[in-house]
A and B are shown apart, each in its own frame.
Chain A
Amino acid sequence: MSSALAHVAWEPCFVEARQDRELETHARRRMGLPNPAVRYFAPAPWVARAAVDINPSFGLLIHLDLHTADLVGLVVSQENACRFCFAAVRAVLWFQGMDRERVLRVEQEIARPDLPAMVRATLDYARAQSRSGPTGAHGAWAALRGAGVSAGEAREIAYTVAVSDFSNRLHTALAIPPLPFERTPESLLMRLLRPLLGRVTGARRSRGSPVAAAMDLPERPYGRLIGAFGDSPIAPVLAHALDEMWASSHLSPRCKLLMFAVVSRGLPCEVCELEISRALQREGLDAAAVARLLTHLDGPELEPVERLLMSYARETLWYQPAVLQRHTRMLRDQLSPEQLIEAVGVAALANGICRMAAVVMDEPA
């Protein structure tokens, strides 16, 4: 089954896989199958956990059906030319019993202009959020709501796009090998095991149910975003992923905030930039310094690693896979393995979250 992305240039993976039984067991329990990518993220465990835990297909969606969520993942991965994620979604569809021709038809159908209005609006919004950022996506958001998609469902669509944007950057930047997934339908072993694997993954994929909404929103960036998800199970999962990211010590909180700020400025997402600027001021940078650093991506206040990663963060905004992989490979020579994985994870998370934050926070609960 040839892939629509088979032509996309993809470097050999330049990070080492590191065995971590705890992380691998966590991924297997949550997803039903071993996740081959987790070992590459092991140096920064929060990245590995986030890659598994925030996946919307495993008990996080209340309103959006899982098939539409898969289509959104397919569209966004195609948009971002992420061979790994595109192949992974195709493999999931195939495990679920779709034959290869049907998977190809699904791929062709997502580009058809005569789709039902709601599906069309969903996929248009997915592309807009991913390719144009929040400012460019406002029109598509209005069309999505105008097509009859409820507020809860629209937020879950935005979240699904955000997770795909995160996942696409994470796997693309580190050039995680896509071949195991791309060759899945051709492998005799996989074909024999397919009914079993389909049952195992199918059992783990489930709709979510409401949870108790957090009463006190935390005084940290994106507290409002988490609050916007109300009683959705997305709220605690997202809060936990963000908490783990801020708490990890391979990069300083100020460095991570600066990376988020660059992504917010570059998209642009004014509402995100405001929240991040306030957090940076709490870290000791005054408003004028923050404004200057974001205008020039440089300044005497910056530590060398901050200067390096502010520059890297902007490379993750709009990218060609090969160019992003080249920049990440150059970063590898200047950072420890732990810092590298954390830096890629922060940049990927910033891109996912900032892209959805503006529309989700603007929408009345």
Chain B
Amino acid sequence: MRTAIAVALVLALLAAVWAWLRERHGALRLQRQLDAASEELQRLQQACARLAPAGVVDRLVADHVDELTAMPAQRKVVTALFADLVGYTAMSERLDAAVLARVLNGYFQRMSDAIHEHRGHVSTFLGDGILAYFGALQPNPWQSADAVRAALAMRAAMADYNRELAREGLPTLNVGIGIHNGSGLVGLIGSRERMEYGFVGRTVNLAARVQALTRTHGVDILVTDAVRSELDATFRLDAMPAERVKGIAEPVVSYAVRERITTPDASPTQVSH
């Protein structure tokens, strides 16, 4: 009888251990699957971050809700920076496709780094052009100064890049940059199949027009009066003659950005006429 009880106890113990091991094995398997799914999600999130601003992707993933309700479009004041390569078409006809792609990628990378470093985000690449926003994703009362600092950093990065290109015997590049700020509609905009975190309004149009004026005035960075009024004395600007541009009724006053000095000696922005 005792033996039978002992055997029964041992069997019960073995059954309990077996059940525990089985459950643990199942839990570990589920854990591994969960970890793998989590890593896959992470990879997807990183891939998506190349297609949309990282903050937007993070928010959509964190909220786990429909993108239309997660980030409704709202009216905001945003600073738009539009940059375009000068003489790209002629250069593109002379260079081999692979070399051209390498030169362009190097240009886009350096310009994007300068924009991100100054709290902007690249909205889109338009051919050889770059459209970037400051103050669209998060409130930024210093967005105009950030955009102009980014433009100055882009100028410096371009000079470095041109030295690299020249060493390789490749043609150098020149960029024209236009900056304007104003109100517009910001958010995820588009169809159900294809959405984009964008900024819609006259501001973008005017930034592009001002960028085009860099060729007219023979300068590389132009800002509108709206941007100039928010800059301090450390920015040295030159007033340019007012010009008529397509789609804007009044002639557009713009200012060439010369440099930024680090010791302010006056309150209003320093403008030479």
Show the binding face of A for B, using Cβ within 8 Å.
1-2, 4, 7, 78-79, 100-101, 104, 111-113, 127, 131, 133, 135-136, 265-268, 292, 295-300, 314, 317-318, 320
Find residues 52-87 in chain B having any chain A CB closer than 8 Å to their own CB. Answer: 54-55, 59, 62-65
Q: Are A101 and B31 in contact (CB-based, < 8 A)? A: yes
A79 nearest CB neighbor, chain B only: B62
Contact of A101 with B62 at beta-carbon distance under 8 Å, contacts A2-B35, A7-B42, A299-B264 already known: no
| Least Cβ–Cβ distance between A271 and chain B, in angstroms | 15
User: Is B140 interfacial (CB-CB < 8 Å)?
Assistant: yes
Contact of A300 with B264 at beta-carbon distance under 8 Å, contacts A113-B64, A135-B139 already known: yes
Give the contacting residue for B62; candidates A78, A266, A296; CB below 8 A: A78
* 8 A-B pairs closest in CB distance: A296-B232, A318-B138, A111-B64, A2-B35, A7-B42, A265-B141, A113-B65, A298-B264
User: Is B8 interfacial (CB-CB < 8 Å)?
Assistant: no
Q: Are B142 and A300 in contact (CB-based, < 8 A)? A: no
Residues in chain B near residue A265, CB distance under 8 A: 141
User: Is B11 interfacial (CB-CB < 8 Å)?
Assistant: no
Residues in chain A near residue B140, CB distance under 8 A: 266
User: Is B3 interfacial (CB-CB < 8 Å)?
Assistant: no
Q: Are A268 and B232 in contact (CB-based, < 8 A)? A: no
Residues in chain A near residue B54, CB distance under 8 A: 320
Give the contacting residue for A104; candidates B34, B65, B231; CB below 8 A: B34
Find residues 98-145 in chain B having any chain A CB closer than 8 Å to their own CB. Answer: 137-142, 145
Residues in chain A near residue B64, CB distance under 8 A: 111-113
Contact of A300 with B138 at beta-carbon distance under 8 Å, contacts A101-B27, A111-B62, A113-B64 already known: no
Residues in chain B near residue A320, CB distance under 8 A: 54
User: Roughly how many angstroms separate A74 CA and B56 CA in the complex, as a whole number?
Assistant: 20
User: Is B89 interfacial (CB-CB < 8 Å)?
Assistant: no
| Least Cβ–Cβ distance between B120 and chain A, in angstroms | 13
User: Roughly how many angstroms separate A295 CA and B65 CA in the complex, as a whole number?
Assistant: 37
User: Roughly how many angstroms separate A75 CA and B63 CA in the complex, as a whole number?
Assistant: 11
| Least Cβ–Cβ distance between A183 and chain B, in angstroms | 16
17 pairs from A and B in contact (CB 8 Å cutoff):
A1-B31, A100-B31, A104-B31, A111-B64, A113-B65, A133-B139, A265-B141, A266-B141, A268-B139, A295-B141, A295-B230, A296-B142, A296-B231, A299-B232, A300-B264, A300-B265, A314-B142
| Least Cβ–Cβ distance between A81 and chain B, in angstroms | 9
Q: Are B267 and A292 in contact (CB-based, < 8 A)? A: yes
Residues in chain B near residue A135, CB distance under 8 A: 139
User: Roughly how many angstroms separate A8 CA and B265 CA in the complex, as a whole number?
Assistant: 42
Q: Are B139 and A266 in contact (CB-based, < 8 A)? A: yes
B138 nearest CB neighbor, chain A only: A318
Give the contacting residue for B38; candidates A2, A112, A127, A300; CB below 8 A: A2
Residues in chain A near residue B63, CB distance under 8 A: 111, 127
Residues in chain A near residue B267, CB distance under 8 A: 292, 299
Residues in chain A near residue B138, CB distance under 8 A: 317-318
User: Is B205 interfacial (CB-CB < 8 Å)?
Assistant: no
User: Roughly how many angstroms separate A100 CA and B141 CA in the complex, as a whole number?
Assistant: 44
A268-B141, A317-B138 known; 16 new pairs, CB 8 Å cut-off, are A2-B35, A4-B38, A100-B31, A101-B30, A104-B34, A111-B64, A113-B64, A131-B59, A135-B139, A268-B139, A295-B230, A296-B145, A296-B231, A296-B232, A296-B234, A298-B232
